[in-house]
Amino acid sequence: MTPSGTRRQLSTADERKRTVLQTAVSAFADRGYFGTTTTDVAKRAGISQAYVYRLFPDKEALFVAVVEHCFALIRDSLSDGAAAAGGSAPEEVLRAMGDAYAQLIADRNLLLLQLHAQCAAAAEPAIREAVRAGYARLVEYVRGVSGAAEPDIQRFFATGMLCHLVVAIDADQVEAPWARALSEGLRHY
């Protein structure tokens, strides 16, 4: 019982796991896979490192879970965008999904986490597989929902990658020809 007489609701393991994942996004976004420790994540989550290990067997499993969480957020965002499309033509659906994604990566933590995941994927097979699987699901989702042709799907994802670069280095804030060439026509929030 709390001082006000109400019963305190305890966190379930799933709720705690979700909290740790959300906290880990910002921790890994700041310093990447190689620069972040489970102690860093535990401190940010307000729990012990031992509890992190109760939820995840090791740092790699935690990072893979964070990557999967990130891809789920992207998928939800694309779904919201597709639902908000002004029509069913592939270009309209892609435009709406792109707008939803641009709003999602306004949260720099998600953007930076994706960049760090792609970098770690080059060296760590389990992370590489999680990133591959995440993109495979996203590409198939975009293909199925939009009905777009292969070149349009490729352009959609290529534009997303360019958005990562532009947002990560704040190129849209730089007044120079190279920066304008990269950021012209991209949506930012």
- The reply to whether 54 falls in a domain is no
- The reply to whether 127 falls in a domain is yes
Average pLDDT, the chain: 92
- Residue 40 tokens read as 């860093």
- The reply to whether 118 falls in a domain is yes
- The reply to whether 121 falls in a domain is yes
- Can you give the CATH number for the domain in which 100 is found? 1.10.357
Residue 41's nearest CA partner among 62, 61, 60 is: 62
Pure H helices in the chain? 13-35, 38-45, 49-55, 59-83, 90-104, 108-121, 125-146, 150-168, 177-183
The pLDDT score that the predictor gives to residue 185 is 87
Whole-number Å distance between alpha carbons of 126 and 91: 34
Give the domain range for residue 69: 59-183
pLDDT digits (tens, 9 = 90+) for 45-83: 999 999 999 999 999 999 999 999 999 999 999 999 999
pLDDT digits (tens, 9 = 90+) for 101-153: 999 988 899 999 999 999 999 999 999 999 999 999 999 999 999 999 999 99
- The reply to whether 39 falls in a domain is no
Whole-number Å distance between alpha carbons of 106 and 111: 8
Q: How many CB atoms lie within 10 A of CB 129?
A: 13
Whole-number Å distance between alpha carbons of 184 and 161: 14
Count the domains in the chain: 1
- The reply to whether 44 falls in a domain is no
- Residue 28 tokens read as 């890994």
Whose structure tokens read 């109400």? 6
pTM comes to 0.88
The pLDDT score that the predictor gives to residue 5 is 58
- Residue 45 tokens read as 């989550």
Measured in whole angstroms, the distance separating CA 118 from the mean position of its chain's CA atoms is 11
